[in-house]
């Protein structure tokens, strides 16, 4: 079977221009666009660049805890039910965040002192942290590390949870 030459010519041209020339033009406009974006970012103030980086990470699904989880997890992909997937995820969790939800106003000083014992914060920083209720006091604790701290803070009159 033979294809007419005229059909081949029309196949390799777009809008009357040869295909190679069209691809080069598209690459050049892409490069110009990227250069324009880079120039605009460079012209931003420090604060605007910081805001942009936060927005970019948010839009890309990234945050300080790592990349966003998308798709099915390994337990759901293997065909197990949704209930067992939730149970397996809860059983796998080994790092917890200690969150102060509220506290007794009378026990504020004692709670600040206790927060200073398990964090490396000074008095001023610990006070500011406690006053920002609800706030995560410590991240990445194991269950064994968190239990004594949790018990002590509850004893002082604080409402504390592990997340």
- pLDDT, one tens digit per residue, over 16-35 is 555 555 555 677 788 888 88
Q: Does 80 score more than 50 pLDDT?
A: no
Predicted local confidence at residue 105, as pLDDT:
84
SS3 at position 61: coil
User: Phi and psi of 72, rounded to 5°?
Assistant: -85, 145
Pick from 152, 96, 99, 149: nearest CA to 129: 99
Q: How far is 98 from 96, CA to CA, in rounded Å? A: 6
Task: Give CA–CA dist 98/84, Å, rounded.
Answer: 26
Contacts of residue 46, Cβ cutoff 8 Å, sequence gap at least 6: none
Considering the chain, what is the average pLDDT of its residues? Answer: 74
What are 98-107's pLDDT values in tens digits?
Answer: 888 888 888 8
pTM over 0.85: no
User: What is the widest separation between alpha-carbon atoms in the chain?
Assistant: 93
pLDDT tens digits, one per residue of 30-71: 888 888 988 998 898 988 888 888 888 888 877 665 555 555
| pLDDT for 66 | 53
| pLDDT over threshold 70, residue 76 | no
Q: What is the CA radius of gyration of the chain?
A: 29
pLDDT score of 78: 47
More confident residue, 60 or 92: 60
């Amino acid at each position: 079977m033979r294809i007419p030459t005229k059909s081949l010519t029309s196949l390799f041209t777009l809008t009357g221009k040869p295909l190679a020339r069209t691809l080069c033009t598209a690459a050049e406009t892409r490069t110009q666009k990227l250069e324009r974006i880079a120039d605009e970012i460079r012209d931003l103030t420090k604060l605007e660049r910081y805001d942009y980086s936060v927005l970019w990470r948010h839009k890309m699904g990234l945050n300080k805890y790592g990349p966003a989880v998308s798709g099915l997890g390994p337990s759901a992909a293997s065909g197990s039910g949704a209930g067992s997937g939730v149970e397996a995820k809860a059983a796998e969790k080994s790092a917890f965040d200690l969150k102060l939800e509220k506290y007794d106003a009378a026990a504020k000083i004692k709670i600040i002192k206790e927060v200073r014992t398990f964090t490396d914060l000074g008095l001023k920083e610990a006070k500011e942290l406690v006053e920002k209720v609800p706030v995560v006091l410590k991240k990445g604790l194991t269950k064994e590390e968190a239990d004594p701290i949790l018990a002590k803070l509850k004893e002082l009159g604080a409402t504390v949870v592990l997340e």
